[in-house]
A and B are shown apart, each in its own frame.
Chain A
Amino acid sequence: MVEYHRNPTTELATSSPLKTCIVGIGGAGGSVLDRITMDRAVDATLVTMHTDIRVLSHSMSPVKIQLGVELMRGIGAGGDPELGREAAMYSREQIRNAIQGHDTIFICVGLGGGTGSGAAPVVAEIAKSTGALVFLTATMPFSFEGKRRLTQAEDSLKQLQNRTDALILFENNRMGELSLPKDGIQKAFVQADQLIAQSLRAVSTIVTTPGLVKLGIDDLTSALSTSNGRCLFGFGEARGQNRGSEALKRALKSPLIDQGRLLHQTKTLLVHIAGGDSLTLVEVDSIMKQLGKNVPDQTHILFGVAVDPKLGESISVTLISSLGLTQLNTLAAAAPPSEMLPLKERAMPSMLSAVAAKPATQLKNVPAAEPMDMLFGNDQFSLPEPQAAVVEQPDMFEQESFASEPEPVVNAEEIPFEEEIFEEVAETEVAEQISHQIPEPEPEPVKPIVRPRIEDFIPNSTARSNTNLTAVVARAPTPTVEEEAPFAPPLNSVAAKKPLVSTQEEQIAFRFGGDEDRGRFKNTEPALAGGEDLDVPTWMRLKRKLKK
């Protein structure tokens, strides 16, 4: 059953532009922020914080905060989170002033070092106390950086998990897969930064830009609702022929989603499709159909479409979801491989047809400004069913209101941010959170009570220089190119071979020769070299070059 969930009230509320703030802390956070600044992609206040004055002076963001001026004297924290924390404490007024008055605050941080790991929890605490929605984008250190840094990162993460509304966690180890082994290290880092910047951009645009079928903060929070979860994020953009499925393919290729394999376990999935004026209903339909094959029936799909003239000829697909740590853990450790297979192979007629039928009706519905709560029943979709909405709605409010509720307490007490109290507050917060969450109609009541422990989770990742995400995969039968046949690309498509043939390169290739010029090789993987498709006859290419 795919449930359609709209909230008309928030739609009205968000008509005034949401103010977004992006904070980068430490070296890694700073470089992501630089990337965002350069791309000018997000309409947000950008704030960089660092203890090291030299690094900070190279930063490109408009607002810079030097943490702990008198304590650190412009020198970095030297990998000691305690120092980072202290430094942030010293500058907390400055931080508060900078980030106050925003509706959403994104915090970008690379965990494991001193400044990032130490200061981020403090900044998150302050951010929450301003009543904003706090998102955290964090990178975990490479496994080769050593156990110590990993422990620091874990500690910091544990503190952060209680202070943020959603956590988008990137594993550096996994980020390595973004680039080909041959690529330069610089490229690898740039690509990692890009992915993080992309995720920030995507989340903020989803929340702020108006759309045909709009998604709001409520949808986002429910997609990321597992309070201790890790975010699965995928973003793909494509143009040209077959752009819809290309974009989806790229979104699924995101290392965080792991070829869509991790989507099998999600309960809620947010899908946002954006395109220029040329976006057609058929494209949206086919994207959703293909995606449907990657998610189980029970998944709650939150779907949004936006037309953004800026995108021109391209289509972008954004997937956001979250997996609880417990889910990840148990799946990685215990679940037999067979558990995942049926999901993959199960036909999903009801959902497919529902999804297929959906966009048409929605578009019809939009002008009529009907309440958008929809419920897709078996094969046909019924009219808004008030019950479901009622169940869901208060829930949303509860969550949102309580997101800011405990903060004043922290504020009023004006604690001198001592470690113990810090922890204590965190604990009570969690307790409250849990008690709030229990009445929720959760299909798995066990989950919120048993608090996932990072300790359980991390050793997997360190022991074998692989993340536990890989463990999930390793358990699943190896290359599933054939198994996922209906969705998987043909045997020899570009996707399998070159995960990162840049769009540019591909496009050059297409420009050089359409399929008709490739003769009997038209269905094979193009042999690209120097921007040329070598399958096109040499004489033909030569002739074209001479013509130019």
Chain B
Amino acid sequence: MNYTDKAKGIENQIDIPNSDKVAISMQNVSIKYNSQTAVKNVFCDIPKGKVTALIGPSGCGKSTILRAINRMNDLISGCSLTGKILFDGYDLYNKQIDPVEVRRRIGMVFQQPNPFPKTIYENIAFGARINGFTGNMDELVANSLKRAALWGECKDKLKESGYSLSGGQQQRLCIARTIAIEPEVILMDEPCSALDPISTLKIEETMHELKKNYTLIIVTHNMQQALRVSDYTAFFNAEKIDSSKSGKVGYLVEFNQTNKIFNSPKQKVTKDYITGKFG
């Protein structure tokens, strides 16, 4: 299997019956930092209402792709994208698109828990307020915390600082904050990498809850986690490309239902990776 075949994306078009089951469609997406290509020629249709895991060795561009979906890469100067990312019929990189609107409908949870230096209550209310929420705020805060499985632990200290929580709780607060703005898609960038196993387990339970209502896309370096939580898995790899002077360029190797990726991968490199031969 060589690189150019994959670039055509034929291998990665999987069988999703009709288009309204696709949440995000990436069509020949390449991302560069200044002149350095980070990830190249990604074709991928991410199904609606499912959990999709992006896995691969470090430097394969999985986080870069994830951050491209809600245009967080706009904050990095020198980062540019070619190709199309389609969401709800819009090309997200069309000049007319407002990245702020995009982020309101595609929320994100980051690698490091990053609550605001405000109270727990305000952490959630802030996002809702700037999104023009007019309903009962107390109710929204309570519901969001419940759905992030944090209500029981912090219902008595809503007025305390978000920093008073433990790392795992902070991350669930960040999830609650994202749920509160009612996005359609939630992106999670290695949400458990800074957490202990017990907190990780709780976050994973939260994810199971969330997939009833949302499309989840999660980057993880933990294959067991991908297996536990995801319905679909995209495996990325990085290769040294002759034309580029330095560094590796990431690409999408294989995308399929998680059990197929883990039990009968089509590519040898996928099999090598999930059996722990590299990465």
Is the A/B pair a real complex? no
Q: Point out residues on A near B: beta carbons under 8 Å.
A: none
Interface residues of B (CB under 8 A from A): none
